[in-house]
């Protein structure tokens, strides 16, 4: 039998970040929370919680938290039909749903989709941000229940749905282009023109260069981990960057930004992957996301890999 009081204690510590806050949530003492977590870790022979400020989950702890997330959904559904089962002395709080998305999706089309779902469902959405090439790893590690990812092959235990492609344009201010590319965009000019990079995982600028010139090449870059700051920095002439078409369309139309090479977009296919155990229960979320994606993304028929 699973020790659900202990499982809830671990989940509450991870959710709130401390043993004291977990105790307040579950209406018990901090020593009771500590004892439950310790006994469960000893029983399992693994560490579930990395003590710190805040406390965080180990990989095994993440899997346990996702299990409790699934249990919370089932309990919430059950209590809507059988409210008399509710324990008045235990305030579990609303169910938290952990999902991951890339920053550019969150900054363009993804937020309206999940906002509508959050208002209708009552779930608390905890959104983790990572590069679209890496969000699938959050699923593999059990850190999230669903994710927007560039991986078209289903992660083990997940269902995958093609969403479309997020289109990017290599853009800069007219003054920047005049300064660094007076003779056009060439490998030599790119080697000295500052670019913008989100973080060490961001390969969009390199992919666009390879798409245009057939080879990778080194180029100087500012690191700027913000989707909107990318656009602002481009407008200010700080560098050139791969900006989502949705965010720079009006700037290009008004002449505030120009494409480095006209009509050379980079399309990044995106997929929605969701844990099979919760896929049916969260079908309204999947429907909201896919409907929004069909309206906002380029529908270039990205392929789901077998």
pLDDT class of 74 with cuts at 50, 70, 90: confident
Q: What is the pLDDT of residue 91?
A: 55
User: Within 10 Å of residue 31's Cβ, how many Cβ atoms?
Assistant: 10
pLDDT category at 262 given cuts 50, 70, 90 is very high
Give the span between the Cα atoms of 162 and 49, in whole angstroms.
35
CA distance 21 to 24: 5
Gap between the Cα atoms of 252 and 234, Å rounded: 11
Does pLDDT of 93 surpass 80? no
Q: How far apart are CA 73 and CA 38, in angstroms?
A: 26
Per-residue pLDDT, 67: 85
pLDDT at 90: 58
How much is the average pLDDT of 186-211?
95
> In this prediction, what percent of the chain has a pLDDT beyond 70?
92
Bridge partner list, 298: 165
Could you report the per-residue pLDDT of 279-290, keeping only the tens digit for each? 998 999 999 999
Instruction: For residue 144, give every residue at least 6 positions away whose Cβ sits within 8 Å of its Cβ, in sequence order, or none.
Output: 66, 98, 99, 100, 128, 135, 138
Query: Which residues lie across from 288 on neighbouring strands?
Result: none
User: Which range among 93-107, 202-216, 264-278 shows the weakest confidence by mean pLDDT?
Assistant: 93-107
Q: Is residue 109 very low, low, confident or very high in pLDDT (cuts 50, 70, 90)?
A: very high
The pLDDT assigned to 81 comes to 65
**Predicted confidence (pLDDT) per residue in 49-71, tens digit:** 999 999 999 989 988 888 888 88
Q: Which tens digits make up the pLDDT trace of 137-157?
A: 999 988 899 999 999 999 999
pTM of the model: 0.82
pLDDT, averaged across the chain: 91
pLDDT for residue 216 is more than 90: no
Lowest mean pLDDT among 57-61, 154-158, 229-233, 297-301: 297-301
Mean pLDDT on 250-276: 97
Q: Is the pLDDT of residue 302 over 80?
A: no
What's the pLDDT tens digit per position in 38-47?
Answer: 999 999 999 9
Mean pLDDT in residue range 153-179: 96
> How much is the pLDDT for 79?
63
Distances (CA, A) of 95 to 27, 88, 222, 292, 297: 17, 17, 40, 24, 30
């Amino acid at each position: 039998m699973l020790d659900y009081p202990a499982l809830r204690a671990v989940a509450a510590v991870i959710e709130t970040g401390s043993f004291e806050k977990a105790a307040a949530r579950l209406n018990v003492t901090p020593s009771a929370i500590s004892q439950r977590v310790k006994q469960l870790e000893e029983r399992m022979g693994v560490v579930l919680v990395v003590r710190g400020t805040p406390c965080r989950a180990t990989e095994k702890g993440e899997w346990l938290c996702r299990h409790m997330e699934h249990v919370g959904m089932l309990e919430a559904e059950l209590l809507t039909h059988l409210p008399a089962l509710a324990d008045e002395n235990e305030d579990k709080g609303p169910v938290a749903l952990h999902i991951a998305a890339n920053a550019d999706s969150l900054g363009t089309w993804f937020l309206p989709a999940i906002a509508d779902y959050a208002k209708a469902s009552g779930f608390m959405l905890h959104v983790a941000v990572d590069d679209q090439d890496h969000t699938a790893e959050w699923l593999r590690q059990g850190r999230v229940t669903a994710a927007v990812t560039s991986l078209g092959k289903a992660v083990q235990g997940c269902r995958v749905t093609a969403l479309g492609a997020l289109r990017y344009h290599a853009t800069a201010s007219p003054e920047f282009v005049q300064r660094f590319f007076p003779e056009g965009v060439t490998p030599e000019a790119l080697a000295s023109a500052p670019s913008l990079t989100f973080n060490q995982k961001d390969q969009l600028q390199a992919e666009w260069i390879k798409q245009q010139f057939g080879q990778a090449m080194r180029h100087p870059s500012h690191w700027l981990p913000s989707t909107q700051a990318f656009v602002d920095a481009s407008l200010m002439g700080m560098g050139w960057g791969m900006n989502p078409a949705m965010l720079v369309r009006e700037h290009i139309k008004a002449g505030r930004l120009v494409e480095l090479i006209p009509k050379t977009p980079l399309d990044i296919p995106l997929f929605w992957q969701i844990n099979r155990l919760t896929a049916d229960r969260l079908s309204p979320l999947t429907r909201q996301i896919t409907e929004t994606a069909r309206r906002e993304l380029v529908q270039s028929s990205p392929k789901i890999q077998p």
